[in-house]
Every structure is written in structure tokens, then in C-alpha cells.
Amino acid sequence: MADFTIYIGNKNYSSWSLRAWLMLKQTGVAFDEVVIPIQTPTTRGEILRHSPSGKVPALVHGPTVVWESLAIGEYLAETFPSAKLWPENTEARALARAVSAEMHAGFVPLRQHFPMNMRSTFDRELIPEIQGDIDRIGALWLDCRKRFGDGGDFLFGPFTIADAMYAPVVSRFRSFKVALEPEIEAYAAAITAWPAYQEWLAAAKNEPMVIEKWEF
């Protein structure tokens, strides 16, 4: 049994679980994962056994329980400094935290109308609110890449928590066939090709659970 256990929801649907799992994967530490199927009669009770918020993801490390994806990222960054989950440069680190927090708190129209469903594709109208979110996300990606992206394919060069926060957005863009400008598409392609993302995607496609109506 590993020292770390992460409790997550269905890999096909749970964007917040994906974020935390990618952060944990980047540390290189061995961990156990437990998938708790969402939207079942026993879901909330089962999650409450491991997460005081009644939501996933939740990370358990010995007596320590951490919930909420950003909090999990901060805990892992402090526990595994060699993983460099935040940029070392002060200005870059501040920007990475800002764009991560904006993702955590914002882009509600995109999340409501384009829920994560990694094994399906859809045709859906780009209403102005969604297009506004897409434009803002693209601008964020371009700004991070322009200012701090040298030395790697991700927002700040090497992988950081910020990339984990936006990985589910890439999945949404793929599922809903969002056309992206070349530089923005290059970043999305780098996330899609990342081995950890591919590992999660393969598992999502093989899950037996199906939710007929899924939001967020």
C-alpha cells in the first residue's frame, strides 16, 4: 500500500479529479487511486468517508487529508519541491497562481455548456458567453507562453500546476470541436500528447460507467 491515496470520480467526467491526479503524477511518487462513481445513490456517503467536503478529489497522506485541487497542488508542491510544480521565478510563479485561481473560480459558461466527456464528441453552438471564455483562455495561454514558455511545451516551459488546471479545458475543446488558432492549438496538442494525460484518457475510454446527463 502506497503512502499516498487519491480519491477521484469517474475519469471520463471528473475534471477536478483529473487536475489533482496530474499534479500527483508529476511528483513521481507511488500512489493508490480509488475511483468513486459519481451520481449514484451511494456516491455522497462513500465520498464523505474520505473527504470532509463530500466532493472529490481528496488526497490522503498518512493522517493528512487534503481536498480541493488547488490545495492538493500546493501540498504536493511543498512536499515535493524537486518536482517544481510552481515556476521558480517569482513573477512567473505569481502569474501561474493567478491563472490557476482564475480557472478554479471562473469560466462557468464553458463548464456548464461544455462538460468534460473525454470519450465523446459533440456539435454545440458557440454562444457569446462560451466564446468569451474561449477567447479569455486563449489569451491567457498565449501570454504565459510568450512571457515564460521558453524551455518547454507548457505554459511556463516545464509542466506546472497551471497546466494541470487547464488540461480538462483542452479535453473540452476536443470534445466540442473548438477550432483554435495555431499557437493556441500547439499548446493544446502538447497537453493531449503528454503521457500522463494519455494514461488518464485511455482509462476514461475504458470505464464502464455512463452518465446520461452530465453537467460540470
pTM value?
0.94
d(CA 14, CA 5): 17
Q: What is the pLDDT of residue 212?
A: 65
End-to-end CA distance of the chain: 32
Q: What is the pLDDT of residue 18?
A: 98
Q: pLDDT by residue (tens digit) across 135-188?
A: 999 999 999 999 999 989 999 999 999 999 999 999 999 999 999 999 999 999
Please report, for residues 4, 55, 162, the alpha-carbon distance to residue 103 in angstroms, rounded to integers and kept in the order given: 26, 18, 9
Domain range summary for the chain, segments of one domain joined by +: 4-83, 90-199
* Cβ-based neighbours of 15, under 8 Å, separated by 6 or more: 111, 116, 168, 171, 216
In this prediction, what percent of the chain has a pLDDT beyond 90? 89
DSSP 3-state of 7 = strand
Q: What is the pLDDT of residue 211?
A: 76
CA proximity to 55, closest of 12, 10, 9: 9
Beta bridge partners of 33: 6
Residues in the chain with pLDDT < 50? 216
Q: What is the pLDDT of residue 22?
A: 98
CB-CB contact of 110 with 175 (8 Å): no
Q: What is the pLDDT of residue 213?
A: 64
4-83 has which fold?
Glutaredoxin (3.40.30)
CATH architecture type of domain 90-199: Up-down Bundle (1.20)
